[in-house]
């Protein structure tokens, strides 16, 4: 049954731009659709947040904020975010559409992979995570479901930390059991997550690729949690005898329970993986897992590869390609993607007695029977090889690896890089893993390290001019603070932090201190008329603003009751002083205290807001009764004024 017919979005034009063609995955937070960007005429994936979550303002705010951050992470091995928007009650992301399958699909179909294939997948994953780590992002949910393998063999990482407000860890479904299998001990115990939790998860994924199973299992999340916290990940060779010890060491390093012992980020782990690959022989890299020998999923003799042509009809996304969810049909991975063989995924190699031509015929026939429409581009007969792993190694090491592969080092150019250390290779042309004729040359781009810029001398410049000059130099204006200065005109730059001449990485923010001019002491104008107060303040170079509300005060009506800032304050020339006009004293009814004791009378009058004075004659020196008061009880007098009581 085609469930897309029941989805109200299918067939609609979302946000006046995106034509929703099919629903391809459903998860706990969003539904993913295949859509056409009618403005740019390209197929993409739309991730639409579920309405219940879209009603949560804080959740949507975080969704948008993190989407903007991830959109800045441009890397060939990261699923790109193109656009984000809202349309009515829908909140969505427009993302790169990847036709292919997930690593989970591959593991489910094939089980354990050969070390070469496992490393061919791990290395681009680490390259993507390395770029993210150096840009300040942590994925936090690395697992085979988030590793996509396109029809063209490209490996991409999906779901970079988007919408983490929904906590799936406390759930007890089978899907959660899959997620908790990759959580680092510190995530479980303390809830902390830095780059090393991604390193740990990649170590678990590598173990699973090499053995076909997770290192820790259980009937509940709690059992898996306990093993993460109290048991080391066993060496893969314990499950698959014959695996090289370098692979055991790589898994052990990445999955150390103490995060301080792990490689600090994915860049460091990528370096370890490349070093391990370099130490392995061809036989060790192509070691066939035991279950592959039993099922026939292995390559025995040669390196024959079949690469499919693009399909004429867009294929459904694999499950979990953009977010965990249930499949909408029962199409097999082979029907979705055809046979692919890139980065270590080749069809079954010839067994004894089977010719290369027979292998090609069988593969082609299977593809045609399934109606995939794929064709063979080229059969490797020894004239071609692949560009070896030369990224993140020194120029000399890269040239050695090219020579070992029978290739020449071509042109070497240099470029700045924030993620690759100085002297190491940033990229190659053709790219790593690309097919290339024997003895051809490979051009290398070598890192000069991060681009640095000298902070210009901005003292005396207007703020707008300073910002423009920083931008021209490849820097950014940071926090602007203002201070009084007798030497620098108001609005001009006093200094920068760091100071002029200091070298900083391109794009760094520079703090600017701007002059408020010479300080002006604010005079006390309370009790003066508004006209006199205004004249005095303006003569001092200040501006005057009259507050809309008036207040009762000790001053007569129409005089200045309050000022802000007050007497003795310092203000910049041209600053505004706010004056509040008096409505006159507040009139309060005077209590009748005649006949009361002196203490009771004083208390009543003070409680009413008056000052109290006693009038004692010689004859009443020791008297304690009030026989009269200066303002009769029941009359009104200004609050704060003095009431005299006569004692008898």
Residues noted as catalytic: 141
Q: Are 515 and 490 in contact (CB under 8 A)?
A: yes
Long-range Cβ pairs for the range 238-241 (8 Å, 24+): 239/211, 239/213, 240/112, 240/210, 240/211, 240/289, 240/290
Q: In this structure, how many other beta carbons lie within 10 angstroms of the beta carbon of residue 296?
A: 9
Q: Are 356 and 193 in contact (CB under 8 A)?
A: no
Angle at 214 between CA 211 and CA 219, to 5 degrees: 145
Alpha-helical regions (H) of 41-190: 51-54, 57-71, 103-110, 115-134, 174-180, 185-189
How many whole angstroms separate alpha carbon 10 and alpha carbon 214? 38
**What is the token pair recorded at 640?**
């704060």
Strand (E) or helix (H) holding 277 = helix 266-279
Buried b (16+ CB within 10 A) or exposed e, 179-202: bbbbbbbbbbeeeebbbbbbbbbb
* Nearest alpha carbon to residue 143 among 175, 111, 114: 175
Alpha carbon distances (Å) from 29 to 47, 68, 164, 173, 189: 9, 18, 10, 15, 25
How many whole angstroms separate alpha carbon 77 and alpha carbon 149? 10
- DSSP strand pairing (408-415 vs 441-447): parallel
Instruction: Tell me the Cα Rg of the chain.
Output: 38
- DSSP strand pairing (576-581 vs 543-546): parallel
* Nearest alpha carbon to residue 347 among 360, 365, 337: 360
**What is the token pair recorded at 197?**
């939790």
How many whole angstroms separate alpha carbon 289 and alpha carbon 443? 35
SS3 79: coil
Strand (E) or helix (H) holding 453 = strand 452-454
Alpha-helical regions (H) of 212-265: 221-230, 236-239, 245-254
Residue 33, classified by CB atoms within 10 Å of its CB into exposed (0-12), middle (13-18) or buried (19+), is buried
Q: In this structure, how many other beta carbons lie within 10 angstroms of the beta carbon of residue 476?
A: 13
Q: In this structure, how many other beta carbons lie within 10 angstroms of the beta carbon of residue 573?
A: 15
Look-up: residue for tokens 């035991």? 290
Strand (E) or helix (H) holding 530 = helix 530-539
Q: Greatest CA separation found in the chain?
A: 140
Ramachandran sector of residue 109 (left: φ over 0; alpha: ψ -120 to 50; beta: rest): alpha
- DSSP strand pairing (425-429 vs 441-447): antiparallel
* Nearest alpha carbon to residue 204 among 185, 226, 222, 190: 185
How many whole angstroms separate alpha carbon 106 and alpha carbon 512? 54
């Amino acid at each position: 049954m085609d469930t897309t017919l029941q989805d109200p979005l299918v067939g609609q034009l979302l946000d006046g731009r995106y034509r929703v063609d099919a629903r391809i995955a459903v998860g706990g937070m969003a539904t993913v659709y295949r859509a056409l960007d009618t403005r740019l005429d390209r197929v993409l994936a739309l991730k639409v947040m579920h309405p219940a979550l879209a009603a949560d303002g804080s959740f949507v705010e975080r969704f948008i904020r993190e989407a903007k951050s991830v959109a800045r992470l441009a890397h060939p091995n990261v699923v790109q975010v193109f656009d984000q928007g809202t349309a009515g009650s829908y909140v969505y992301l427009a993302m790169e559409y990847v036709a292919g399958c997930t690593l989970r699909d591959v593991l489910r179909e094939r089980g354990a992979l050969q070390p070469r294939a496992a490393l061919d997948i791990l290395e681009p994953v680490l390259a993507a995570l390395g770029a993210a780590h150096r840009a300040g992002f942590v994925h936090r949910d690395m697992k085979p479901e988030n590793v996509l393998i396109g029809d063209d063999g490209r490996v991409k990482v999906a779901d970079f930390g988007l919408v983490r407000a929904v906590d799936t860890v406390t759930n007890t479904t089978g899907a959660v059991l899959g997620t908790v299998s990759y959580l680092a001990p510190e995530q479980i115990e303390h809830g902390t997550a830095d780059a090393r939790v991604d390193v740990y998860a990649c170590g678990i994924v590598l173990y699973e690729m090499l053995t076909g199973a997770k290192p820790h299992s259980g009937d509940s999340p709690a059992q898996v949690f306990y093993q993460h916290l109290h048991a080391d990940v066993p060496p893969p060779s314990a499950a698959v005898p014959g695996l090289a010890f370098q692979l055991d060491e790589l898994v052990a390093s990445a999955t150390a329970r103490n995060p301080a012992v792990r490689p600090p980020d994915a860049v460091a782990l990528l370096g370890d993986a490349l070093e391990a690959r370099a130490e392995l022989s061809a036989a060790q890299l192509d070691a066939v897992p035991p279950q592959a020998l039993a099922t026939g999923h292995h390559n025995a003799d040669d390196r024959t590869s079949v690469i499919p042509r693009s399909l004429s009809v867009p294929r459904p996304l694999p499950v979990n390609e953009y977010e965990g969810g249930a499949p909408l049909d029962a199409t097999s991975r082979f029907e979705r993607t055809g046979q692919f063989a890139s980065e270590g995924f080749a069809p079954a190699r010839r067994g004894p007695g089977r010719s290369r031509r027979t292998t090609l015929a069988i593969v082609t026939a299977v593809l045609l029977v399934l109606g995939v429409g794929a064709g063979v581009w080229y059969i490797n007969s020894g004239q071609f090889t692949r560009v070896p792993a030369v990224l993140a190694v020194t120029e000399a090491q890269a040239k050695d690896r090219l020579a070992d592969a029978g290739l020449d080092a071509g042109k070497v150019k240099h470029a700045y890089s924030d993620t690759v250390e100085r002297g190491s290779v940033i990229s190659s042309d053709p790219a790593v893993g690309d097919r290339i004729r024997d003895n051809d040359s490979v051009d290398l781009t070598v890192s000069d390290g991060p681009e640095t810029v000298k902070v210009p001398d901005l003292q005396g410049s207007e703020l707008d001019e300073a910002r423009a000059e920083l931008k021209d130099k490849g820097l950014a204006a940071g926090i602007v603070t203002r201070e009084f200065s007798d030497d620098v005109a108001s609005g001009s730059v006093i200094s920068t932090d760091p100071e002029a001449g200091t070298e900083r990485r391109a794009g760094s923010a520079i703090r600017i201190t701007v002059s408020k001019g010479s300080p002006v002491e604010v005079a006390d104008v309370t009790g003066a008329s508004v006209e006199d107060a205004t004249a005095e303040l303006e003569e001092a170079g200040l501006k005057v603003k009259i507050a809309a509300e008036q207040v009762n005060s000790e001053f007569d009506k129409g005089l200045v009751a309050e000022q802000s800032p007050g007497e003795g304050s310092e203000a910049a020339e041209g600053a505004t002083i706010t004056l509040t006009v008096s409505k006159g004293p507040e009139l309060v009814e005077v209590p009748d205290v005649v006949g009361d004791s002196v203490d009771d009378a004083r208390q009543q009058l003070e409680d009413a807001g008056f000052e109290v004075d006693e009038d004692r004659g010689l004859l009443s020196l020791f008297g304690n009764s009030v026989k009269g008061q200066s303002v009769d009880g029941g009359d009104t007098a200004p609050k704060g004024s003095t009431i005299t009581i006569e004692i008898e």
